[in-house]
């Protein structure tokens, strides 16, 4: 999947994305699809450290990276629908690659659980907006994979705090009306069973309540 993401980004930018500058785009202004690609390649090729919440600069970058306003501005613009789809496609693929990078860093011991949770939640938001717009790139299978990955993260109690897991549950529930129908009935049933087990074994009331709301939303699909 990582190869597909990188290849897709290069194709969408005419092969020039890999030559993007090694510094991150400024968080002072809204980002379009190209800025998200620049962000990814600044980390991948430019070896820039992933933004984290332990510094003011990292906080500003992460806030811009996960800013819903970036997508809302694209959707509200006068650009043709095809251009909006292209922009959202770039954002979805870039944020997916960023999610992978944060996940890898967390897996090797970096304290980036909160950052990863926020990136995952924003990724779901971006995918849902792309799906609502009728975008076809990346393919639907990648959208549903991102949804399932977020659900799996809810079960990672060694990586995420109960608060972070509840945050992810609420993010999933928010986009479920758009993304849930992309899953088969069996997939939705499996998701509900998995979440039910987590809720049944958790001692955290907020997490149990969030999972309860999500289970109700799944039943209503």
pLDDT for residue 136: 59
* Residue range 181-213, pLDDT digits in tens: 999 999 999 999 999 999 999 999 999 999 999
* Residue range 93-141, pLDDT digits in tens: 999 999 999 999 999 999 999 999 999 999 999 999 999 998 655 577 8
Select from 136, 198, 138 the least CA-distant residue to 168.
198
pLDDT for residue 4: 39
Instruction: State the pLDDT confidence band at 6, using cuts at 50, 70 and 90.
Output: very low
pLDDT for residue 134: 84
CA 161 to chain centre: 18
* Residue range 37-76, pLDDT digits in tens: 999 999 999 889 999 999 999 999 999 999 999 999 999 9
Report residue 130 as tokens: 């792309």
**pLDDT at 169 > cutoff 70:** yes
* Residue range 74-91, pLDDT digits in tens: 999 999 999 999 999 999
**pLDDT at 1 > cutoff 70:** no
Instruction: State the pLDDT confidence band at 151, using cuts at 50, 70 and 90.
Output: very high
Give the integer Cα–Cα distance in Å for 33 and 130.
12
* Residue range 8-27, pLDDT digits in tens: 444 444 444 444 346 999 99
């Amino acid at each position: 999947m990582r190869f597909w993401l990188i290849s897709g980004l290069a194709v969408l930018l005419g092969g020039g994305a890999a030559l993007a500058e090694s510094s991150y785009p400024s968080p002072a202004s809204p980002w379009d699809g190209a800025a998200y690609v620049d962000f990814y390649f600044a980390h991948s090729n430019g070896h820039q450290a992933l933004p984290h919440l332990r510094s003011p600069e990292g906080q500003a970058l992460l806030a811009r990276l996960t800013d819903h306003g970036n997508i809302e501005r694209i959707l509200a613009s006068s650009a043709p629908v095809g251009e909006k789809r292209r922009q959202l496609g770039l954002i979805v693929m870039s944020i997916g690659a960023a999610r992978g990078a944060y996940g890898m860093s967390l897996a090797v011991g970096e304290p980036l659980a909160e950052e990863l949770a926020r990136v995952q939640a924003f990724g779901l938001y971006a995918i849902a907006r792309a799906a609502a717009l009728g975008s076809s790139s990346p393919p639907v299978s990648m959208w549903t994979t991102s949804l399932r990955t977020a659900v799996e993260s809810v079960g990672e109690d060694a990586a995420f705090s109960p608060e972070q897991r509840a945050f992810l549950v609420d993010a999933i529930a928010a986009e479920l009306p758009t993304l849930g129908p992309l899953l088969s009935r069996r997939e939705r049933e499996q998701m509900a069973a998995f979440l039910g087990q987590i809720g049944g074994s958790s001692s955290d009331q907020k997490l149990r309540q969030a999972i309860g709301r999500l289970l109700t939303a799944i039943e209503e699909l």
